[in-house]
Structures are given as structure tokens and as C-alpha cells.
Structure 1
Amino acid sequence: MGTILITGASTGIGKATAKYFAEKGWNVVATMRSPEKETELHNLQRVMVLELDVEKKETIREAVAQGIDRFGKIDVLLNNAGYCVGGVFEAATEAQINRQFGVNVFGLMNVTQAILPHFRANKAGTIINISSVGGRITFPLLSLYHSTKWAVEGLSESLYYELAALNIKVKLVEPGNIDTDFTGRSLDYAYDEALTDYKEYNDSFLLKVEENFKDPAKVSKPEVVAEVVFEAANDNKTRLRYTAGQDAEFLLHMRKEKSDEEFMGFIAQQF
């Protein structure tokens, strides 16, 4: 047993993971931008709900300090907070680009840097970063999202070596399609009606995304990811990557077995 700090715990993967770890007897520091809106996690034993906005360093420092003060130490950091900007790259605004990286990459870096002094002092700790199957492969009209997840993959793999001598583990969890609000609250979309050359492809893409998220065979519950995160936190292995969801396993296996031309041809056909 131990203590885990989770970012983005108000919904989806973060909330499911907070509940799962609490059920398993762990202490949980469940953080989110608006803790006053949370109605469920407050009622769970071993769960502390705190404000943390990954783009505001003062809230990160305060959440880490409060978590340590309450539970004595933090054993695992789960960098889960994130969202997606989809759509036509040419139509993306500077604000959309900056915020996509500000949350998914720079925010993750902010939280990681804030916890590292504590892990170094303890000579132990595990950092688990929620990446995506989209950190290893790509789909059209998700260029900004993919670029952030590929950045998280690179950062994590490099830190894996850098922190190993300090007995700090770094792990990646790569989910596929998950039944969350990914296409709702957590999706921002870049499109400009004046860019008519993209219209047909854009409309086709949106239809395909809607089909995929309505097909139970292609979508996993967030609890599936929570179980994988729990495995990564507890298996005492030096393994870096963990896949979550049958679709992710299928796509990553295909990516490994096929040439670039074959795999990218397959993806192109889907859209």
C-alpha cells in the first residue's frame, strides 16, 4: 500500500483510478482544477481532494505539500491531466497550440519537477505518465494532440534512464479509445469554414470518430486503464510501457509488424 497523487481526477481515467486505488487500500491525493464541484470522491475514505491546475505552479506546489502533510509521503505520481485539440492544423490558432502543449506537455513537466525533490529525498518513487496509443501512432486531424503525446513518450523514455540510479521509476500507460468525455468536454476543435479544401475530409473524419466511440467493441471503460495503472504502480518491474485496451494492443502490434507504407496505408483507408 502507499499514496498516489493523481492529476485530472475529476472525470474519466483520473476519477476511475482514484476510486480503484482507494478500494485497494491506497491513500489517494485526487487533484483537479475545480475541487468544489466534486461530489463523489470527497466521500471516500483515504481520498483527499485538492485543487491543482497543471498550468499554475503555485497550485501544484500546494497540492504536493498538502498531500505529504496528510499522508506522510507520496509514493506514486500519476500524470493524467490532459485534453485534445483536433481538427485541421492550418486552422489551429496560436492559443489552441499553446494550450495543447501547456497542459499535455509543460503541465506534466511542471508536476513532475515538483514531485522529484520528494522522491529524491525518499530515494524511491514512481512516475506514471498517461500517454496514448496516439503517442506511438497517428491519425489524421489530430496533429497537435499526437505531437504532445509523442513528446510525453520521449520525455518519459529519457527520464527512465536519468532517474533509474536514484531508484525512481518512470512508466508510460498507453490507452486506446476510452469511454470518457474525450469527444466532449476534453475536446477542442480547430476548423475554419473558409478552408473549403478540407471540408470533405473533415466531415468524413468526424463521422468515423463518432462511429468508433459508439462501437462498444472499439471503446474500453476507464476502469480498464485504472487496472493497468495499478499494475504499473505495484509490479516492481523496470518495464517502461503498458498498453490499455484491445484496440491499442491491436494497433501497436500492427505498427510493429508492418512497414511504414503498409501501416500508414491501413490508417489512411480507415478515413
Structure 2
Amino acid sequence: MQKTIFITGASSGLGKTTAKLFHSKGWNVIATMRNPESETELTQLENVSVLRLDVTDPKELEDTIAQVLAENEVDVVLNNAGYGLIGPLEAFTDEQIKKQIETNLMGVIRITKAFTPYFRQRKEGVLINITSSFGLIGFPTCSIYSATKFAVDGFSECMGYELAEFGVRVKVVAPGGIQTDFAGRSLDGAQHEGYSRLMEKVQEEYSPEKIVDYSKPEIIAEVIYQAATDGKDQLRYVAGKDAVALYKERNTIGAEKHVQKIKSQFLG
């Protein structure tokens, strides 16, 4: 029987790449995005439905998922929608902070809550939440972004316990750097003159020389496919060579020593 995946944030980058991968594997794909009228590639694919969905709009979210479940049997839900808010905390407005939390955290919570009764009654299903290596390890100028990603990681672990007796698996995919247009399309930021030295050091990590070593989105999409289909009772999938190396180092030397290493890296 053909399986179905529901994806948020599928307009570009990792979301679109993942939609195309699952389509190539014979899945039915429900690709959601804020502006489906602008989509020209996924709309040409058979067994791919493109729907409007802004995860920060509770009413639209509720209506869209009700429509989807009335017309489809969904096997996997991928919470991918999100963006980065980069800069020192002092520079952010309250509106920026709220928007980051609404998109990266509340969107995941709302989507999960909407699908939970369906999966619980069905007694099977997989919920996959995209976090980040910065949802496992802190990084300067990523305070609010990391707060949302750490929160999604903890939320996912808790939901995994809640849904285990119903045969529903909750998983997290934590990528490192990805070679997409995320930095230009899905990145918001702010500057503060008091942190100019730190910002210069952080900017070095996003230089063209560093970005070429990031993972291609196809690599991360393969990890998502693995998480969706391997049948394992596994919570976290760290994706990308940089993320795997960073996470391994932290676990090897311990969190406290790793914190001191990062401080030394940026403070000298």
C-alpha cells in the first residue's frame, strides 16, 4: 500500500528536497507551505499535493489538517517549517522573539497536537521533528533559535513517552550546516555595537570556505527517510558530518569541557 507523508515548510531547501525524495520512493506527498501559488516544481509531480499552511496560524492549521485527514491516511508527519534568528539577545525586539517561538516551537506543538488523536486511534505513525545541532549544543548569537530547538528536542522526547503505548514513534533529526538558501531566505538577524567583536568571530563560521563543507540537503533528506522507514525505536538522528563530529566531541569530553572550548574559540 502506498504510504503518505505530510511535510511543513516544503517550499524550498530541505523541505522541498525531502518531498522530492519521498516522491521518488513511491510515497504520496502532502507538501505544505505559506505561498503555494508560487510553487512551480512540486505541483508538476504525480501524487504530490501542495497545500497552503502557515504554522503560526492556528485556525488555518486546524482546518488544513482536518481536510487532509478527511481525504488521506497519513503515515508520517515531518515538522520542518522554521527559520533562524541570529544575533545578540540585546538586539532583538520582543516581536522577533515571539515570531521565532511561534514558528519554530509552537508550530511543531500545534501540528503534533492536531495529528496525535489520529495516530493514537490508528495505533501507528511516525512524527519527525527537525531540530538542529544547535538544539543539542549552544552557540553564541543563537540564544532564541537554540531555545526553540532545544525545546523541540525535549518536547519530542516527552511525546515519545506519551505515545509509545499506542505504537506511535516520535523522532528528532538534528542537522548541522546545510547547503541551502536558508541563510538568505529563512534567516533573520540583528546587530548590536556592543557585540561587534563576537559577531565578527561568529561570521567566520558562515564564510564561503565553511559553507562548502556543509551537507547537501539530499544527505539530510536521506536521514529523514531513514528515520521514517527504519522501524527503529530511536529518538535522535544527528545528521551531517559536522553535526556528528560536534555531538561526538561533546559526549566524549563532557558538556562542561565542551562549553569551555567554545568560549575559548570565540573569546580567545
1:243 to 2:238 alignment: yes
Following superposition, the deviation at residue 269 of structure 1 comes to 4.0
Equivalent pairs, count:
265
Please give the secondary structure, in 2, of the residue aligned with 1:10.
coil
In the alignment, is the contact (CA less than 8 A) between 1:179 and 1:213 conserved in 2?
no
8 Å Cα contact 1:55-1:107 kept in structure 2: yes
Post-superposition CA distance 1:219-258 (Å, at most 9, x none): 0011111111111111111111111100011000001001
Q: How does 1:1-271 map to 2 (within 5 A)?
A: 1-70=2-71, 72-192=72-192, 196-211=193-208, 213-214=210-211, 216-217=212-213, 219-271=214-266
**Hey, what's the Cα distance between the residues in 1 that align with 2:148 and 2:182?**
15
Letter aligned with residue 240 of structure 2: G
CA distance in 1, matches of 2:209, 2:86: 15
Q: Deviation at 1:59?
A: 2.0
Contact 1:179-1:220 within 8 A present in 2 as well: yes
1:58, CA displacement in angstroms?
2.3
Cα offsets for 1:83-129 (capped at 9, x unmatched): 01000111111001101100000111111111112212212111000
Runs of 5+ consecutive residues of structure 1 not aligned to the other structure: none
| 1:270 CA displacement | 3.7
Instruction: Report the residue type matching 2:59 in the other structure.
Output: E
TM-score, normalization: structure 2?
Answer: 0.94
- Which amino acid counterpart does residue 222 of structure 1 have in structure 2? P
CA distance in 2, matches of 1:117, 1:210: 45
Instruction: Report the more deviating stretch, 42-51 or 201-210.
Output: 201-210
SS of alignment partner, residue 223 of structure 1: helix
- Tell me which moved more, 203-212 or 33-42: 203-212
Residue 238 and residue 90 in structure 1: after superposition, are their counterparts in 2 closer, same or farther (change >3 A)? same
Deviations 1:30-67 (A, max 9, x none): 00000000010000111000001101122222322333
| TM-score w.r.t. length of structure 1 | 0.93
Distance 1:18 1:58 in 2: 24
Q: CA RMSD in A?
A: 1.4
| Alpha-carbon displacement from aligned partner over 1:138-165 (angstroms, at most 9, x marks no partner) | 1101111001000001100011111001
User: Contact conserved, 1:177 with 1:213, CA < 8 A, in 2?
Assistant: no
Equivalent AA in structure 2 for residue 107 of structure 1: G
Whether the aligned pair in 1 keeps the contact of 2:120 and 2:163 (CA below 8 Å) is no
- 1 CA distance for matches of 2:96 and 2:209? 25
Out of 89-98 and 115-124, give the one that drifted further. Answer: 115-124
| CA–CA distance in structure 2, aligned partners of residues 208 and 136 of structure 1 | 18
Unaligned runs of 5+ in 2: none
